[in-house]
Structure 1
Amino acid sequence: MKKILIVAPAWVGDAIMAQPMYARLKQRHPQAQIDVLAPAWTRPLHARMAEIGEAIDAPFGHGELKLRERWKLARELKARGYDQVIVLPNSIKSALVPMLAGIPTRTGWVGEMRYGLLNDIRTLDPIKLPKMVQRFYVLADEKDAPRTTPIPNPELTINASDRDAALRKLGLTTDKPIIAICPGAEYGPAKRWPAVHAAALATQLIADGAQVWLFGSGKDSEICDEIVQLAPHVINLAGKTSLAEAIDLLSLAHVAVCNDSGLMHVAAALGRPLVAVFGSSSPGFTPPLTLKAKIVTLDLECSPCFERVCPLGHMDCLNKLTPDRVMKALKELNKEY
């Protein structure tokens, strides 16, 4: 039985976009054991991917070298006897442990000049592979293999009993249609639709008979609190759920409104219709991977800039993206789904 290790991304959205690659590996090697090496907090994501056997915790923070810990982990991985490792992050550090573990085939992009650390090394053509999901997916095949089938969309699986337990724990009901709003974006404020716009949208949705749930981590509490102050009838779940609970509850949404964020990709992988709001980033690079999405963006001359904070100081790409534009997209989705 072939044993494959994936060094997985640490960002939620990137981790979701890697799932089609796992499906491709299973298609090519139906009996293979596929494990992931990733930060512990991503376990809920990988637990909901049918292709993944085991998630192994990577005990390193962002930018930490920790050579002693990496050497210890490499010995543990060597004992597991992997035949191949596919390294998805582009850093030198992410390729170091697989090399120390002596995994025979070490696949990945050149990244930070990783010659020697990887021995099945690929050189990226960003014109041929403009999307991140494409750059992950092709690593499942042999070098220069032609791609003859379309890339499937990511898919997460949900356990209904776990979802019901989360509903009971938080005292939530499903008696009214649920609109999920995910107003955060860990990358930075230039990806966050303003709270005043989200609140105006939520107020209209509630008046129309829906209930609005705000999703996010504790880091999103500030913007969610701003929304609550302006629209007090929303249900604020930011910082009150684990990632596992957030995924399960998001699967109940009639529709989701998301910034370009990890939760946008979660909603897409759950098959939820969604409106994706783009500001400083590009839907050409990290779009929601679903047929049930409407993208709302102003396509200003200064965007996408891919900056965490607006370099011009006005953030027109999101400030001028008014709630009526998002409401129009929601109504279009409602007609279709």
Structure 2
Amino acid sequence: MIKKLLVIGPSWVGDGVMAQPLYRRLHERHPGLELHVFAPAWTLPLLARMPEVAKSHLNPFGHGQLRLRERWRTARALHREGFDQVVVLPNSLKAALIPFMAGIPLRTGFTGELRYGLLNDTRELDEHELPTMVERFCILAENDRHGLPRPIPHPRLISQAPAQRAVAERLGLSLEKPVIAMCPGAEYGPAKRWPARHFAALAQALSERGYQVWLFGSGKDEEIGAEISRLAGGCALNLCGKTGLDEAIDLMALARLAVCNDSGLMHVAAALDVALVALYGSSSPDFTPPLSDKAQIVSLNLECSPCFERVCPYQHTRCLEDMLPERVLQACLNLIAATAPISPTPNMATPS
């Protein structure tokens, strides 16, 4: 009998990428599995590029919104799907409510926020045994007494060449020069964002070496994208807010290299197997590292970092201010030299 399983997916783009190895492992454990994911709208383009996911369901509930009557209606719709099991990735009480209301027989997840009863297949989280988020996701595919198979394969997103060409043509983008993708935003807060003037100086240095620079981000990043483009004297094309996540994925797949803050787009670049320079300030790569064999991390490792604060508690953000463009440029050049050259024509990222 084919197993039908639902995953309550994460709310952040980066976490959504890091859940893909879990989906792969679930298929390994349950041949013929029909896997569905319940997730917020902004993460659905990720699921569309994961062949492990048969169907996605929109999670319309924002952070802090209870809306019990609407949750009941959503649960009834999911009940009609006839799921055998649900795996709940978020640790909140609200994330476990809908699976319980939907009457899914086996409800798996970590204990937390008084979820006893709502979940009936609970796991205690050992943070030392499972230091990274991807490990914590993947262990939920195993039996309670079964160890986690390692190494965990890196996340992979599929990007098809026709889609890449179509979005490049729509935006009038030339592929004559190799592309450097830069992702200057970070949804969490300014303590994770490398300064705009540093991005601009790096864009100028890379432009002098024959690369074109594309800036990626959401509508919230339009202002910083415009500032970088202005400071770079036109050496950086601001695409922030001009694409949805689906188009950004396809355009980033064309890049020779990506330079990213610790953000959701950093994990997207890693999952596309694009060479990646990852910039860490207030956060730490120990918990959410770029999952790629082509990544180089740049961090100053100051005494006050990682603090994991949205805004620098000392009001200086030296962990990023003192990360000079010359240092990041050298990391870019080292990585370009260490990775096989990629033609500036459209390519396809394929799963391992």
Q: Aligning the two structures, in what range does the TM-score lie when normalised by the shorter sequence?
A: over 0.9
Whether 1:212 aligns to 2:213 is: yes
Distance 1:336 1:175 in 2: 22
- Per the TM alignment, residue 320 of structure 1 is displaced from its structure 2 partner at its CA by 0.3
Q: What's the CA shift string for 1:280-333, capped at 9, x where partnerless?
A: 000000000001000000000000000000011000000000011111111111
Q: What's the CA shift string for 1:236-288, capped at 9, x where partnerless?
A: 10000011000000000000000000000000000000000000000000000
Q: Which residue of 1 aligns with 2:349?
A: none
Distance 1:12 1:230 in 2: 28
Whether 1:300 aligns to 2:302 is: yes
Q: Which residue of 1 aligns with 2:249?
A: 247
Q: Which residue of 2 aligns with 1:87?
A: 88
1:271 to 250, 270, 273: 273
Structure 2 matches for 1:63-102, cutoff 5 A? 63-102=64-103
Is the CA contact 2:296–2:335 (under 8 Å) kept in the aligned structure 1?
Answer: yes
Q: What's the CA shift string for 1:86-145, capped at 9, x where partnerless?
A: 000011000000001110110001121211110100111111111001000100111131
Structure 2 matches for 1:190-205, cutoff 5 A? 190-205=191-206
- Per the TM alignment, residue 168 of structure 1 is displaced from its structure 2 partner at its CA by 0.7
Distance 2:325 2:149 in 1: 41
SS in 1 for 2:168: helix
After the TM superposition, which parts of structure 1 deviate over 6 Å for at least 4 consecutive aligned residues? Answer: none
Distance 2:150 2:215 in 1: 37
Q: Which residue of 2 aligns with 1:60?
A: 61
SS in 1 for 2:247: helix
Distance 1:25 1:116 in 2: 24
TM-score normalised over the length of structure 1: 0.99
Distance 2:39 2:26 in 1: 18
Q: What's the CA shift string for 1:209-252, capped at 9, x where partnerless?
A: 11000000000112111101101221110000011000000000
Q: Which amino acid aligns with 1:145?
A: H
Is the CA contact 2:13–2:42 (under 8 Å) kept in the aligned structure 1?
Answer: no
Is the CA contact 2:256–2:274 (under 8 Å) kept in the aligned structure 1?
Answer: yes
2:319 to 314, 317, 320: 317
Whether 1:168 aligns to 2:182 is: no
- Per the TM alignment, residue 173 of structure 1 is displaced from its structure 2 partner at its CA by 1.3
Is the CA contact 2:178–2:256 (under 8 Å) kept in the aligned structure 1?
Answer: yes
Q: What's the CA shift string for 1:136-193, capped at 9, x where partnerless?
A: 0100111131224310100000122111110111000111010000000000000000
1:285 to 283, 287, 296: 287
Distance 2:229 2:46 in 1: 28
- Per the TM alignment, residue 35 of structure 1 is displaced from its structure 2 partner at its CA by 0.3
Distance 1:133 1:41 in 2: 20
Greater shift in the superposed pair: 228-237 or 195-204: 228-237
1:335 to 295, 320, 337: 337
Distance 1:125 1:281 in 2: 21
Distance 1:194 1:147 in 2: 39
Q: Which residue of 2 aligns with 1:235?
A: 237
Q: Which amino acid aligns with 1:310?
A: C
Q: Which amino acid aligns with 2:239?
A: L
Distance 1:234 1:280 in 2: 26
Greater shift in the superposed pair: 140-149 or 178-187: 140-149
Q: Which residue of 1 aligns with 2:47?
A: 46
Is the CA contact 2:111–2:124 (under 8 Å) kept in the aligned structure 1?
Answer: yes
Q: What's the CA shift string for 1:23-72, capped at 9, x where partnerless?
A: 00011112010000011221110000010000000111111111111000
Distance 1:158 1:229 in 2: 31
Q: Which residue of 2 aligns with 1:260?
A: 262
Distance 1:329 1:30 in 2: 42
TM-score normalised over the length of structure 2: 0.95
SS in 2 for 1:56: strand
Is the CA contact 2:138–2:148 (under 8 Å) kept in the aligned structure 1?
Answer: no
- RMSD between superposed Cα atoms in Å: 0.8
Identity rate of aligned residues, in percent?
Answer: 60
Unpaired stretches in structure 1, ≥5 consecutive residues:
none
Q: Which residue of 2 aligns with 1:33?
A: 34
Distance 2:114 2:303 in 1: 34
Q: Which amino acid aligns with 1:51?
A: E
SS in 1 for 2:80: helix
Distance 1:34 1:3 in 2: 6
